[in-house]
Structure 1
Amino acid sequence: MEKEVNTSLTQNIFRILLALFMVFAGISHLTFNRIDFQAQVPDWVPLSKDLVVILSGVVEIALGLILLFWKKQRVTIGWALAIFFILVFPGNVAQYLDGKDAFGALNSDTARLIRLLFQPVLIAWALSSSGAWRSWRNSKK
C-alpha cells in the first residue's frame, strides 16, 4: 500500500492544473484535434494512427481524472504520468524529423524542436506536483 505524501498548496495547484490539462488534451484527442494528433504517430507503430490517438486520449483522460481525485495513489499516478510522457516522446520526435505540421502552431522545424524541449518539463511537472519526486527522495534516506 502506498504511503500518502503531503504536498504543498503550490504543488496541489500545479497538480490540479496538470490534471485538467490532461483531461482537456484527452478530450481533444477524441474530438477537435484528432487529425492533428495523428501527425504525431510514427509510421513504424503497427496500429492504425486513429486507434493510437483514441487510446492515448482515453489514457490521458483517465490519468488526469485519477491525478485529480485519487489522493492515496498520487505518487503512483505521478510516476505513471511521467512514464506516459516518456512513451509518447518518440511521436513528438517523429513529428519533428518528418516535418509534419499540426495544431496550426507546429508549422516549422523550429516550433517542433521547441516543443521537444517541453517534454522534460511535463515529466518534472508530473513528478513534482504529485509528490512522486519527494517520495522517491525520502525513500533514499
Structure 2
Amino acid sequence: MTSHKNTPNRLKEIFRVVLSIAIILVGITHFTEPAQFVKIMPPQLPYPTELVYISGFFEILGGIGLLIPFVSVAAAWGLIALFVAVFPANINQAINSIPIEGIPHHPWLYWARLPFQAVLIAWAWWYTQKPDEQLGAFKE
C-alpha cells in the first residue's frame, strides 16, 4: 500500500525523468539541427556553431547526470548554469524575431518563451534541494 507521504517525492522523481528526457532530446537536436540554433546565437559571440555543439553536449550530459544519484545535484547545478548561459540566444531570437523550423513563427511566442527559462531554472534547482530524500525511485 502506498503512503500519501511518498506522493510528493514520487511526483518529484517523475518530473526528474521528464526534465531529463526533455533536455536530452533538446541536446540531441543541437547535433541533428545545429543551424536552427546557430541562427539565434547573438552575433557578438564567437564560434556560434561550436557553442551550439558545446551547449548540446552539456544538455545531454546534464540530462543523463540528473538520473544518476551520485552526480544528480551537480548535474542540476550544471543545468541551471546552462539555462542561464543560453538565455542570451533566447533574447536575441525574441528581439530579432528569428524563426526556427518546427516552431510557429509568432514574435509574441518568442517573448513568451523568455519567462519559461525561469521555470526551467527553478525546475532544475528543485533537484539541488534535500538530495538525501531524492531518487527514492532508484533505491531498494
TM-score w.r.t. structure 1 length? 0.80
CA distance in 1, matches of 2:90, 2:81: 15
User: What is aligned with 1:36?
Assistant: 36
Q: Which runs of 5+ in 1 are unaligned?
A: 1-6, 136-141
User: What is aligned with 1:62?
Assistant: 61
TM superposition shift of 1:75: 1.8
1:7-22 superposed matches below 5 A: 8-22=9-23
Larger radius of gyration: 2
- Larger relative contact order (C-alpha < 8 A, sep ≥ 6)? 1
TM-score w.r.t. structure 2 length? 0.81
User: What is aligned with 1:125?
Assistant: 123
Across the aligned residues of Structure 1 and Structure 2, the Cα RMSD in angstroms comes to: 1.6
Q: Which runs of 5+ in 2 are unaligned?
A: 1-7, 132-140
Instruction: Name the amino acid aligned to 1:113.
Output: W
Identity of aligned residues (%): 31
CA distance in 1, matches of 2:81, 2:92: 18
Structure 1 runs of 4+ aligned residues shifted over 6 Å read none
Aligned residues: 124
